Structure 1
Amino acid sequence: MDSKVLRYSEGQEMKLKLATVLLTLVLACFANAEDSSSKIQIEPLLQRTSSWDGTPYKAYPVGQPKITVLKITIPPRTTMKWHSHPFPNAGYVLSGDLTVEKRDGTTKHFVAGEVIAETVNSVHRGVTGDAGTVLIVYYSGNSELPLSISDEK
C-alpha cells in the first residue's frame, strides 16, 4: 500500500490554525451564552383575577389598546385625592409603603416589593408613610380613556 502524507504550504497551515482558533472561540461563545441563559430567574410578582379588595375584574375596554407604564414618586405623609380607574392596572411598590383606602373604610397596606392589583370603577385613594413611596404602575387601557378619574367632593 502506498501511504500519502498531506503537506500544507506555510500559508495553508496558517489558515487552518486560524480557522481552528476561530471555531474554538465561536463554540466557547455559544457555550457561555447557554450557561448564562440557564441562570435566568423568573419570579411571578402578581397573577390575579380580582383587585386588592377582592372585586373580580371584568372585560378590558374595547378600542385601540394603549399600554402605559409610569414611575410615580409620592412625598412622605401624602394623602392622594379620591379617584377611580376605568380599567385594570397594577402598581409595584419600589420603595416606601402605601395604604390604599376606599370610602367605606376598607384599607390595605402595601410595602416595598409588593404589588397592588388596583380596583376598577371603585373610588379609592392612597396614603404614604414617613418615607414617601415610589411606584411603578402598569395601565392596560385604551387610547380613549384616562388613566384615572378624579372623584373629589
Structure 2
Amino acid sequence: MRKWWVRLIRDKRGSYYLDTAVFVLVACMSLALTISVLAVSWRKTSAQDIADYAARQIAADGAISGSTIQKLTTVAGSGHFLIGVKTDSGMAVSLPVSTSEVGYALQEIQQGTGFAVTITSTDQNAIGVGGVQTNNTSVYGAANGVSAHYWKG
C-alpha cells in the first residue's frame, strides 16, 4: 500500500513542487520578519530596564557622577545607549553610557528634587526582511525618580 503523499505527487505530475517552493519562501520571509520585530522589542525592553536602573541609582547617589555612569556601563554595555537626565530645578545632562565618561564631573541633585531619565539607543534598529521595506525605529526608555541624598552647602 502506497503512502497518500506519494499518490498525491504522482497524480499531479509535480504541480505541488511549485506550491511547496512558494510556501517555503513565504514561511522563511515570515520567520525573518518575526525575528526582526522580536529583536527590536527586546532592545526596547532592555532600554526600559536600564532607565529604571538608572533612576534608582541616581536617586540613591543623589548625583550624576562618574561612578553612576560606570555602574550603568556594566548594565548597559559600552557605547550602545545615550542617557539624558532632566531635573525639576532645570539641570539637563546628556551623555553616552561608556567607560570613557567615568571622569565626568559631579552633577549634584538635592534631596527631594525630582528628575526624569531617558535612555536612547545609539544603534540602528531596523525592522524588515533583508533590504525589503526596512523601517528604522527609535528605541528608548524613560523613568522618573526623586533624589534621596542631602547635599550640604
- Could you say which structure has the higher strand fraction? 1
Question: What TM-score does the superposition give when structure 2 sets the normalisation length?
Answer: 0.27
- Could you say which structure has the higher helix fraction? 2
Question: What TM-score does the superposition give when structure 1 sets the normalisation length?
Answer: 0.27
